[in-house]
Structure 1
Amino acid sequence: MSVMRPELIMKSIIPVVMAGIIAIYGLVVAVLIANNISDKVTLYKSFLHLGAGLSVGLSGLAAGFAIGIVGDAGVRGTAQQPRLFVGMILILIFAE
């Protein structure tokens, strides 16, 4: 899209940045879990860490899927009709 409309370069990058924010959420949880691991880990605590990782990972997967679909359609739509940009941003925020 930026080849046809170079003024939309920064607007087209917003879905990519929002997808990167999801990865930061996963990184934060991974660091928290890694710092919480000690020499003597109980089975209960291990399952808590597994549940935390799975919940962040699977919700990140679903949010990334939604952001990808909305970002693709939104960038293509914004190239044709600039009024769609605000709607795309709102849907991206709710998808995250």
Structure 2
Amino acid sequence: MTDLCPVYAPFFGAMGCTSAIVFTCFGAAYGTAKSGVGIAAMGVLRPDLIVKNIIPVIMAGIIGIYGLVVSVLISNNLTQQTALFTGFIQLGAGLSVGLSGLAAGFAIGIVGDAGVRGSAQQPRLFVGMILILIFAEVLGLYGLIVALLMNSRTGGDVTCTR
């Protein structure tokens, strides 16, 4: 082991992998649950609009896919002999997609809940709700892009050999 390749370096990569999937799934679960409550409440009076207003739930599920993609990419690069630089980059990539996915899931849940209830009373609100949901989804996409760019930099100059 050297200063550039300590024994604990893979821990940071594993934590990046974990944070990518955990935080995005928290966001996706919150967005699904919050929007689902709105759909259930709206469906009591307007059951004909349930399928049309399922879009926020689908968009919340996509946030979880972002975390899955980054988590799989990070886990493919995990090795016992890892440079500290690589571990930190993997941690940053996981936190990037994870925390942005958490924020996007919260936004989708809140907008989805209020949006489906509102569009049941005023159908012209539907297009506005979709546009706001798209902007909320893009927040998670930004985190995915940054995570992919960061993860592509993990093949640094340092090689760890025994």
- Superposition TM-score tier, normalisation by shorter sequence: over 0.9
After the TM superposition, which residues 1-96 of structure 1 pair with which residues of structure 2 at under 5 Å, given as runs? 1-96=42-137
Once residues 44 and 111 of structure 2 are traced to their aligned partners in structure 1, the CA distance between those partners, rounded to angstroms, is: 21
Instruction: Output the TM-score relative to the length of structure 2.
Output: 0.58
- RMSD of the alignment, in Å? 0.8
Gaps of 5+ in 1: none
Give the % identical residues: 78
Instruction: Output the TM-score relative to the length of structure 1.
Output: 0.95
What is the CA distance between 1:43 and its match in structure 2?
0.8
Runs of 4+ aligned residues of structure 1 deviating over 2 Å after TM superposition are none
| Larger radius of gyration between Structure 1 and Structure 2 | 2
Secondary structure of the 2:45 match is coil
Q: More helix by proportion, 1 or 2?
A: 1
Amino acid at match of 2:119: T
